[in-house]
Amino acid sequence: MFHQHFLSAPGTDLGPLDSGERVLWRGRCAVAEYAFDEASSLPRWTLPEETEVFVTDRRVRYSYADETTLRNGELFWLWPQHLRVQPGNRDTGRTATVTQIQLVCNGPEGSYPALVFAGGDLATVGDADRLANVLRQAIARFRVENATEIGVAPVHARMLSRLLIGPEFTNYQGGEGQTVSLLGSVPVPAQEPAAPAYAEPAPAYAEPAPAYAEPAPAYAEPAYQEAAPAAYQEPAYAETVYAETAYQQPAYREPAYAEPAYEPAASSPVSSMPVSSMPVSPTPVSAVPVSSMPTSSMPTSSMPTSGGRGAPQRPGREADALRAEEAMRAEQDSRHSEPDLASRAASLAARVASLMSGGLDDDAAGRFGVQTANLSAYLNRADEPGSRH
């Protein structure tokens, strides 16, 4: 259903005009409403040329009554945004158009409803121009006089006042038409949907009550009780517990190093004479000739050498082992010397001691003619038994 902005419900009586309201124009013409925001739209409603129209200083009111119904409506000067006169063309017949006066308003939800007057007392373009001039002055004067109440800005009020003395509408048949913008317009409020004009009639007859009552059954029907289903018990499943094997890392034992046991070499026969009983010569060893020193009768190559050890090698270990071997060999050589060498060493020590204490005896001085300190002369005498071997 089309939304009608400027037409009241059928049978509505708008009542008399307000006190002090002046009528500026009165006549008869056709009235219709169009949607200017829709291209090539059909009229939402129309009233014939016999419709009575009143133009006052506050609004335009139109009313049409026939034998069966009453239709009326009105448009206040708060709403029009544009006023346009559209002359008809010069054609005749079905293509001919009539001159129209259009009051375009700003409606709800971006719509532009327009109230159109045509025909009747507006048969010519001049008649339409005269009515358009009345509408322009009435709207401009109303907004200027009530600028404070309706919220018209002072700038807009000054521009509206120019429309009161501005040029009038002057159009001709088949012309382009003229449009005037009316500042300070207020959007048209949306109308509430009208209540339906008729009420649903009540039924003309009432349904009769039954003449008999249905007898009650002589026996009681056994109540059937459905056995409750046994509760379903879901079987319990024992979840297999997976025991993860504990991994034990084998303990690492560091190999212990055992020092090899060395057995002492077999003892060789030594002199039965204890070392402490040998006379010690006060002569320093450095004064004794090297050739007279006793040497070991046991070859050095026959002495045992130290075997290898399993301990890790370190710097200087071989040199230490070599020095130890040499010291042991020297000790063994001193222990395994021959007895004659020991006796000779004792005799030599005694003679050296006598020389140091008292000098040479007379026998030696007479033999050599001079006193000498050469010990080899005493050791190598021919008359001594066992001096040479």
Per residue of the chain (389 residues), give pLDDT as tens. 345 678 888 888 888 888 999 999 999 999 999 998 888 789 999 999 999 999 999 999 999 998 888 899 999 999 999 999 999 999 888 889 999 999 999 988 888 999 999 999 999 999 999 999 999 999 999 999 999 998 999 999 999 999 888 889 999 999 999 999 999 999 998 766 555 545 555 555 556 655 555 655 555 555 556 655 556 566 666 666 666 666 666 666 666 666 655 555 444 444 445 444 455 454 444 444 544 445 444 454 445 545 445 555 667 788 888 888 888 888 777 666 555 666 777 788 888 887 877 654 455 444 544 455 555 555 555 445 554 44
25-47: b (≥16 Cβ within 10 Å) or e:
beebbbbbbbbbeeeeeeebeeb
At position 146, the amino acid (one-letter code) is N
Say what the pTM is: 0.50
At position 290, the amino acid (one-letter code) is V
| CA pair distance 6, 44, nearest whole angstrom | 10
The CA radius of gyration of the chain, in Å to the nearest whole number, is 78
Give the pair of three-digit tokens for residue 286.
């450095």
| CA pair distance 186, 79, nearest whole angstrom | 5
**If we measure between CA atoms, which residue out of 292, 277, 279, 281 comes closest to residue 353?**
281
